[in-house]
Protein backbone atom coordinates (compact mmCIF):
# COMPACT_ATOMS: atom_id res chain seq x y z
CA UNK A 1 0.00 0.00 0.00
CA UNK A 2 1.22 3.46 -0.85
CA UNK A 3 0.97 6.04 1.92
CA UNK A 4 -1.05 9.25 1.35
CA UNK A 5 0.99 12.11 -0.08
CA UNK A 6 0.55 15.21 -2.18
CA UNK A 7 2.11 15.35 -5.64
CA UNK A 8 3.61 18.19 -7.65
CA UNK A 9 5.13 18.30 -11.13
CA UNK A 10 6.75 21.73 -11.46
CA UNK A 11 7.81 23.07 -14.86
CA UNK A 12 10.81 25.08 -13.68
CA UNK A 13 13.86 24.24 -11.60
CA UNK A 14 13.32 27.17 -9.23
CA UNK A 15 9.79 26.05 -8.52
CA UNK A 16 10.97 22.47 -7.95
CA UNK A 17 13.48 23.65 -5.34
CA UNK A 18 10.76 25.69 -3.63
CA UNK A 19 8.34 22.73 -3.60
CA UNK A 20 11.03 20.48 -2.12
CA UNK A 21 11.41 22.84 0.81
CA UNK A 22 8.12 21.50 2.18
CA UNK A 23 8.24 19.12 5.15
CA UNK A 24 9.11 15.51 4.30
CA UNK A 25 9.25 16.08 0.54
CA UNK A 26 11.11 13.71 -1.80
CA UNK A 27 12.14 13.86 -5.45
CA UNK A 28 10.46 11.60 -7.98
CA UNK A 29 12.94 11.14 -10.86
CA UNK A 30 12.37 7.84 -12.71
CA UNK A 31 10.54 6.35 -9.75
CA UNK A 32 12.10 2.90 -10.16
CA UNK A 33 13.41 2.96 -6.59
CA UNK A 34 11.12 5.54 -4.98
CA UNK A 35 7.88 3.62 -5.51
CA UNK A 36 9.29 0.54 -3.78
CA UNK A 37 10.57 2.71 -0.93
CA UNK A 38 7.12 4.31 -0.51
CA UNK A 39 5.34 0.94 -0.56
CA UNK A 40 7.74 -0.47 2.01
CA UNK A 41 7.42 2.64 4.16
CA UNK A 42 11.16 2.97 4.67
CA UNK A 43 10.94 6.73 4.94
CA UNK A 44 8.17 9.11 5.99
CA UNK A 45 6.89 11.09 2.98
CA UNK A 46 4.21 13.76 2.81
CA UNK A 47 4.99 15.20 -0.58
CA UNK A 48 6.39 13.83 -3.85
CA UNK A 49 7.89 16.29 -6.32
CA UNK A 50 8.36 15.00 -9.85
CA UNK A 51 11.29 16.46 -11.78
CA UNK A 52 10.26 14.85 -15.07
CA UNK A 53 8.94 18.12 -16.54
CA UNK A 54 12.18 20.05 -15.98
CA UNK A 55 13.53 20.48 -19.47
CA UNK A 56 16.86 21.82 -18.26
CA UNK A 57 17.65 18.37 -16.86
CA UNK A 58 17.34 16.53 -20.17
CA UNK A 59 19.86 15.38 -22.75
CA UNK A 60 23.46 14.38 -23.31
CA UNK A 61 25.74 16.76 -25.18
CA UNK A 62 29.37 17.32 -26.01
CA UNK A 63 30.99 20.37 -24.40
CA UNK A 64 33.30 22.84 -26.17
CA UNK A 65 36.36 21.48 -24.34
CA UNK A 66 35.70 17.98 -25.72
CA UNK A 67 34.06 16.66 -22.56
CA UNK A 68 30.39 15.89 -22.08
CA UNK A 69 27.38 16.88 -20.03
CA UNK A 70 24.79 14.33 -18.99
CA UNK A 71 21.41 15.69 -17.90
CA UNK A 72 20.28 14.21 -14.60
CA UNK B 1 23.37 6.77 -21.80
CA UNK B 2 24.42 3.25 -22.77
CA UNK B 3 23.33 4.00 -26.35
CA UNK B 4 24.58 7.59 -26.67
CA UNK B 5 27.18 7.87 -29.42
CA UNK B 6 28.95 10.67 -27.53
CA UNK B 7 29.30 8.56 -24.37
CA UNK B 8 30.18 5.35 -26.23
CA UNK B 9 32.94 7.08 -28.16
CA UNK B 10 34.48 9.17 -25.37
CA UNK B 11 33.81 7.08 -22.26
CA UNK B 12 33.16 3.44 -23.22
CA UNK B 13 33.47 2.36 -19.57
CA UNK B 14 30.61 4.68 -18.63
CA UNK B 15 28.40 3.44 -21.48
CA UNK B 16 29.17 -0.12 -20.35
CA UNK B 17 28.23 0.63 -16.75
CA UNK B 18 24.94 2.27 -17.78
CA UNK B 19 24.17 -0.88 -19.79
CA UNK B 20 24.77 -3.03 -16.70
CA UNK B 21 22.10 -1.27 -14.63
CA UNK B 22 18.99 -3.33 -13.82
CA UNK B 23 16.93 -4.32 -16.90
CA UNK B 24 16.10 -2.46 -20.17
CA UNK B 25 12.67 -1.44 -18.85
CA UNK B 26 14.13 0.00 -15.67
CA UNK B 27 16.94 1.72 -17.59
CA UNK B 28 14.45 3.42 -19.89
CA UNK B 29 12.48 4.68 -16.93
CA UNK B 30 15.36 5.51 -14.60
CA UNK B 31 17.59 8.57 -14.58
CA UNK B 32 21.26 9.13 -13.88
CA UNK B 33 20.46 11.41 -10.92
CA UNK B 34 18.21 8.70 -9.55
CA UNK B 35 20.86 6.06 -10.09
CA UNK B 36 23.28 8.12 -7.99
CA UNK B 37 20.70 8.84 -5.26
CA UNK B 38 19.03 5.43 -4.97
CA UNK B 39 18.48 4.02 -1.51
CA UNK B 40 20.56 1.12 -0.14
CA UNK B 41 19.51 -2.44 -0.92
CA UNK B 42 20.26 -3.85 2.54
CA UNK B 43 17.44 -6.28 3.44
CA UNK B 44 17.33 -5.04 7.03
CA UNK B 45 17.00 -1.43 5.84
CA UNK B 46 14.32 -2.43 3.31
CA UNK B 47 12.62 -4.76 5.76
CA UNK B 48 10.84 -4.18 9.02
CA UNK B 49 13.96 -3.57 11.07
CA UNK B 50 14.50 -0.39 12.99
CA UNK B 51 18.10 -0.10 11.90
CA UNK B 52 20.58 2.69 12.55
CA UNK B 53 19.99 4.24 9.13
CA UNK B 54 16.26 4.50 9.89
CA UNK B 55 16.85 6.05 13.30
CA UNK B 56 17.15 2.81 15.28
CA UNK B 57 20.03 1.81 17.52
CA UNK B 58 21.94 -0.89 15.64
CA UNK B 59 23.03 -2.29 12.31
CA UNK B 60 21.48 -5.74 11.99
CA UNK B 61 23.79 -6.77 9.17
CA UNK B 62 27.07 -6.50 11.09
CA UNK B 63 26.22 -9.59 13.18
CA UNK B 64 23.48 -10.92 10.91
CA UNK B 65 22.98 -12.01 7.32
CA UNK B 66 25.66 -10.02 5.55
CA UNK B 67 26.64 -11.97 2.44
CA UNK B 68 25.91 -9.02 0.13
CA UNK B 69 27.30 -6.34 2.42
CA UNK B 70 30.41 -4.17 2.61
CA UNK B 71 33.99 -5.27 3.17
CA UNK B 72 35.39 -1.72 3.26
CA UNK B 73 34.31 1.50 4.95
CA UNK B 74 31.58 0.08 7.20
CA UNK B 75 33.63 0.62 10.40
CA UNK B 76 31.19 -1.72 12.15
CA UNK B 77 28.57 1.06 12.02
CA UNK B 78 26.49 0.27 8.90
CA UNK B 79 27.45 -2.25 6.23
CA UNK B 80 25.37 -1.23 3.19
CA UNK B 81 27.05 -1.28 -0.19
CA UNK B 82 26.42 1.59 -2.54
CA UNK B 83 24.15 0.10 -5.24
CA UNK B 84 25.04 2.33 -8.23
CA UNK B 85 26.99 0.99 -11.22
CA UNK B 86 27.46 4.40 -12.82
CA UNK B 87 28.81 6.21 -9.71
CA UNK B 88 32.15 4.33 -9.56
CA UNK B 89 32.77 5.02 -13.26
CA UNK B 90 31.87 8.70 -12.88
CA UNK B 91 34.29 8.91 -9.96
CA UNK B 92 37.01 7.14 -11.94
CA UNK B 93 36.48 9.63 -14.78
CA UNK B 94 36.67 12.57 -12.34
CA UNK B 95 33.15 13.80 -13.15
CA UNK B 96 31.63 16.84 -11.45
CA UNK B 97 28.10 16.84 -10.11
CA UNK B 98 26.08 20.03 -10.64
CA UNK B 99 23.48 20.75 -7.99
CA UNK B 100 20.82 23.45 -7.69
CA UNK B 101 19.19 24.40 -4.42
CA UNK B 102 17.71 27.26 -2.48
CA UNK B 103 21.05 29.10 -2.35
CA UNK B 104 21.82 28.75 -6.05
CA UNK B 105 24.14 26.32 -7.78
CA UNK B 106 27.14 24.36 -6.59
CA UNK B 107 29.43 21.76 -8.12
CA UNK B 108 31.05 18.91 -6.25
CA UNK B 109 33.13 15.83 -7.00
CA UNK B 110 31.53 12.39 -7.01
CA UNK B 111 33.42 11.44 -3.86
CA UNK B 112 32.01 14.50 -2.07
CA UNK B 113 28.46 13.52 -3.06
CA UNK B 114 28.52 10.31 -1.02
CA UNK B 115 28.58 10.11 2.77
CA UNK B 116 30.20 7.35 4.83
CA UNK B 117 28.36 5.91 7.86
CA UNK B 118 31.13 7.28 10.09
CA UNK B 119 30.30 10.81 8.83
CA UNK B 120 26.50 10.52 9.07
CA UNK B 121 24.71 7.19 9.09
CA UNK B 122 21.28 8.76 8.41
CA UNK B 123 22.03 9.98 4.87
CA UNK B 124 23.61 8.54 1.74
CA UNK B 125 24.37 11.79 -0.08
CA UNK B 126 25.52 15.30 0.80
CA UNK B 127 22.42 16.80 -0.87
CA UNK B 128 20.30 19.15 1.23
CA UNK B 129 16.59 18.30 1.27
CA UNK B 130 15.73 20.84 -1.40
CA UNK B 131 18.73 20.32 -3.65
CA UNK B 132 18.44 18.68 -7.07
CA UNK B 133 21.21 17.17 -9.18
CA UNK B 134 20.81 18.90 -12.55
CA UNK B 135 23.63 17.36 -14.55
CA UNK B 136 26.95 15.57 -14.49
CA UNK B 137 29.95 17.02 -16.28
CA UNK B 138 32.77 14.90 -17.62
CA UNK B 139 36.21 16.31 -18.42
CA UNK B 140 37.53 15.69 -21.95
CA UNK B 141 39.03 12.21 -22.16
CA UNK B 142 42.81 12.09 -22.63
CA UNK B 143 43.83 10.57 -25.97
CA UNK B 144 45.40 7.58 -24.19
CA UNK B 145 42.52 7.01 -21.76
CA UNK B 146 41.21 3.47 -21.29
CA UNK B 147 37.99 3.17 -19.32
CA UNK B 148 36.19 0.00 -18.33
CA UNK B 149 33.56 -1.29 -15.91
CA UNK B 150 33.36 -4.86 -14.74
CA UNK B 151 30.50 -6.17 -12.64
CA UNK B 152 30.06 -9.55 -10.97
CA UNK B 153 26.59 -10.52 -9.82
CA UNK B 154 24.73 -13.58 -8.61
CA UNK B 155 22.75 -13.95 -11.86
CA UNK B 156 23.32 -12.79 -15.41
CA UNK B 157 20.95 -9.81 -15.47
CA UNK B 158 18.85 -7.46 -13.41
CA UNK B 159 20.88 -7.63 -10.22
CA UNK B 160 23.16 -5.46 -8.14
CA UNK B 161 26.94 -5.85 -8.01
CA UNK B 162 28.50 -8.35 -5.62
CA UNK B 163 31.78 -6.88 -6.73
CA UNK B 164 32.67 -4.45 -9.47
CA UNK B 165 35.47 -2.24 -10.61
CA UNK B 166 35.64 0.94 -12.67
CA UNK B 167 38.97 1.76 -14.25
CA UNK B 168 39.99 4.95 -16.03
CA UNK B 169 43.68 4.72 -16.83
CA UNK B 170 45.94 6.72 -19.11
CA UNK B 171 48.48 4.45 -20.74
CA UNK B 172 51.65 5.77 -22.37
CA UNK B 173 54.36 3.48 -23.77
CA UNK B 174 52.66 0.59 -21.95
CA UNK B 175 52.92 2.42 -18.65
CA UNK B 176 50.08 3.68 -16.48
CA UNK B 177 50.74 7.39 -16.17
CA UNK B 178 47.50 8.58 -14.60
CA UNK B 179 44.10 7.37 -13.57
CA UNK B 180 41.76 5.97 -10.97
CA UNK B 181 40.39 2.64 -9.81
CA UNK B 182 37.03 2.63 -8.01
CA UNK B 183 35.26 -0.43 -6.58
CA UNK B 184 31.51 -1.11 -6.46
CA UNK B 185 29.77 -3.63 -4.22
CA UNK B 186 32.59 -3.01 -1.76
CA UNK B 187 31.60 -0.22 0.63
CA UNK B 188 28.79 2.15 1.66
CA UNK B 189 30.14 4.56 -0.96
CA UNK B 190 31.90 3.99 -4.30
CA UNK B 191 35.30 2.90 -2.96
CA UNK B 192 38.40 4.39 -4.50
CA UNK B 193 41.24 1.89 -4.32
CA UNK B 194 44.29 4.06 -3.69
CA UNK B 195 46.10 0.80 -2.89
CA UNK B 196 45.66 -0.52 -6.43
CA UNK B 197 46.44 2.90 -7.94
CA UNK B 198 49.67 3.17 -5.94
CA UNK B 199 50.85 -0.21 -7.20
CA UNK B 200 50.22 0.42 -10.90
CA UNK B 201 51.09 4.12 -11.22
CA UNK B 202 54.16 4.64 -13.38
CA UNK B 203 54.48 0.91 -14.00
CA UNK B 204 54.16 -1.40 -16.96
CA UNK B 205 51.22 -3.77 -16.56
CA UNK B 206 53.35 -6.91 -16.49
CA UNK B 207 52.56 -10.09 -14.61
CA UNK B 208 54.32 -8.98 -11.45
CA UNK B 209 52.58 -5.59 -11.25
CA UNK B 210 49.19 -7.13 -11.97
CA UNK B 211 49.70 -9.76 -9.24
CA UNK B 212 50.68 -7.03 -6.77
CA UNK B 213 47.70 -4.87 -7.78
CA UNK B 214 45.33 -7.81 -7.35
CA UNK B 215 46.65 -8.38 -3.82
CA UNK B 216 46.50 -4.63 -3.06
CA UNK B 217 42.80 -4.56 -3.99
CA UNK B 218 41.89 -6.26 -0.70
CA UNK B 219 44.43 -4.54 1.53
CA UNK B 220 42.69 -3.16 4.59
CA UNK B 221 39.46 -5.04 3.87
CA UNK B 222 37.28 -5.96 6.85
CA UNK B 223 35.02 -8.77 5.63
CA UNK B 224 32.02 -9.71 7.76
CA UNK B 225 31.01 -13.24 8.79
CA UNK B 226 29.39 -14.19 5.44
CA UNK B 227 31.13 -12.13 2.78
CA UNK B 228 34.84 -13.02 2.73
CA UNK B 229 34.18 -14.56 -0.72
CA UNK B 230 34.19 -10.99 -2.03
CA UNK B 231 37.94 -10.80 -1.39
CA UNK B 232 38.45 -13.43 -4.11
CA UNK B 233 36.06 -11.67 -6.46
CA UNK B 234 37.86 -8.34 -6.15
CA UNK B 235 41.28 -9.93 -6.58
CA UNK B 236 40.03 -11.77 -9.64
CA UNK B 237 38.36 -8.86 -11.40
CA UNK B 238 41.30 -6.51 -10.80
CA UNK B 239 43.61 -9.10 -12.32
CA UNK B 240 41.35 -9.78 -15.31
CA UNK B 241 40.62 -6.13 -16.06
CA UNK B 242 44.27 -5.07 -15.87
CA UNK B 243 45.15 -8.00 -18.16
CA UNK B 244 42.49 -6.81 -20.60
CA UNK B 245 43.89 -3.26 -20.57
CA UNK B 246 47.41 -4.60 -21.02
CA UNK B 247 46.31 -6.70 -23.98
CA UNK B 248 44.32 -3.75 -25.33
CA UNK B 249 41.12 -5.77 -25.45
pTM of the model: 0.95
A36, A62, A70: residue with CB nearest B32: A70
Chain A environment of B137 (Cβ under 8 Å): 63, 67-70
Average pLDDT over residues A40-68: 95
pLDDT reported for residue B248: 82
pLDDT reported for residue B249: 59
Contact A69 B46 (CB under 8 A): no
pLDDT reported for residue B236: 98
Give the residue on B whose Cα is nearest the Cα of A43: B54
Q: Where are the domains of chain B?
A: 1-249
Which tops the pLDDT comparison, A7 or B19?
Answer: A7
Task: Report pLDDT digits (tens) over B91-116.
Answer: 999 999 999 999 999 999 999 999 99
Chain A environment of B29 (Cβ under 8 Å): 30-32
The CATH classification of domain A6-70, taken from the options 1.10.3210, 3.30.43, 3.30.420, 3.40.50: 3.30.43
pLDDT reported for residue B189: 98
Q: How far is B31 from chain A (nearest CA, A)?
A: 6
Give the total residue count for chain A.
72
Q: Where are the domains of chain A?
A: 6-70
| pLDDT per residue rounded down to tens, chain B (249 residues) | 999 999 999 999 999 999 888 888 888 889 999 999 999 999 999 999 999 999 999 999 999 999 999 999 999 999 999 999 999 999 999 999 999 999 999 999 999 999 999 999 999 999 999 999 999 999 999 999 999 999 998 877 677 889 999 999 999 999 999 999 999 999 999 999 999 999 999 999 999 999 999 999 999 999 999 999 999 999 999 999 999 999 985
3-class DSSP state for residue A53? coil
Please report how many Cα atoms fall inside a 13 Å half-sphere around the Cα of residue B214, on the Cβ side: 18
pLDDT reported for residue B4: 94
Closest to B70 measured CA to CA, from B80, B55, B85: B80
Contact B31 A21 (CB under 8 A): no
ipTM: 0.95
The CATH classification of domain B1-249, taken from the options 3.30.390.50, 3.90.420.10, 3.40.50.300, 3.40.50.170: 3.30.390.50
Amino acid sequence: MLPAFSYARPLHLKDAVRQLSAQRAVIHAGGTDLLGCLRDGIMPVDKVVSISALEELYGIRETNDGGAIIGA
Amino acid sequence: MSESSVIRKKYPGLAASAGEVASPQLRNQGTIGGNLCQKPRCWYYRGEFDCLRKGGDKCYAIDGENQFHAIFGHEDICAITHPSDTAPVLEALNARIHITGENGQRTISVSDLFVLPSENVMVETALEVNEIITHTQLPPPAANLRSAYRKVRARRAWDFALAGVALALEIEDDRVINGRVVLSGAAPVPWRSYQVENVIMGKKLDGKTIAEASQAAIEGAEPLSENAYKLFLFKGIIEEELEAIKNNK
